[in-house]
Amino acid sequence: MLNNPSKTGVGIVSISKSGELALAMASFLPNVKATAWINGNIANVLFPLHYKDIVFPPLPVSAEGIIVKDSGILDIRDALLDCMEEENRASVIPIERASCNFLFIVSEDDRNWNSVYYAEQASKILKAHGKTNYEVVTYPKAGHFLEIPYMPHYPSGIHAAVGQAVAFGGEPKAHAVAQVDTWKRLLEFFKKHL
């Protein structure tokens, strides 16, 4: 028997590309009760996302937003066009439909994409729809992959979708501290809402 039947449901942890998938699940599936989004996007990227008769087109990419560092590593943080521009709004996941709680975890030195901007936009969307079911946590010097504590920090690596070395950002110590704090926050978040 459950201690508190009102807290039953599914929780989702997402990072990077899985962020928009988690937001889509939270927006359309009623059993999702808690969604943790780590350095993700609020718009669909790379390929069309289908749900029943709805199709979210991928957010367009602009080569002009790519910076090649002296090392040859690409900084792709600003490669995606602005999802909030009218011509790109069809790519944005309708998170205002969701009834779950959100935890947006953001690294300010994410060089994979502009996670700070996407979290800000998610907050604005939810607030504009009268929602208070979200929290945003930021880490100033952390990079893109905030994984479980004590995983090695890697400031760059081969990006599967790009096929080249890209910058992920972050300073090793700050990134490690952020991973430990993120893990604690995730456990507290899911314990509270599930």
Catalytic option among 16, 27, 91, 107: 16
* Residue 53, phi then psi, degrees to nearest 5: -100, 10
* Count of beta carbons in the 10 Å neighbourhood of residue 73: 18
Tell me if 76 sits within 8 A of 113, measured CB to CB.
yes
70 included as an active-site residue: no
Catalytic option among 107, 144, 156, 193: 144
Question: CB-side exposure of 191: number of CA atoms within 13 Å?
Answer: 6
Tell me if 151 sits within 8 A of 180, measured CB to CB.
no
User: Angle at the Cα of 122 (from 160 to 6), degrees rounded to 5?
Assistant: 100
> Starting at the edge strand that comes first in sequence, how are the strands of the sheet with 67-68 ordered?
67-68, 74-75, 165-167, 156-158
Catalytic option among 27, 75, 110, 193: 110
16 included as an active-site residue: yes
71 included as an active-site residue: no
Strand 54-56 relative to strand 49-51, pairing: antiparallel
Q: Any idea which residues carry the catalytic annotation?
A: 16, 110, 144
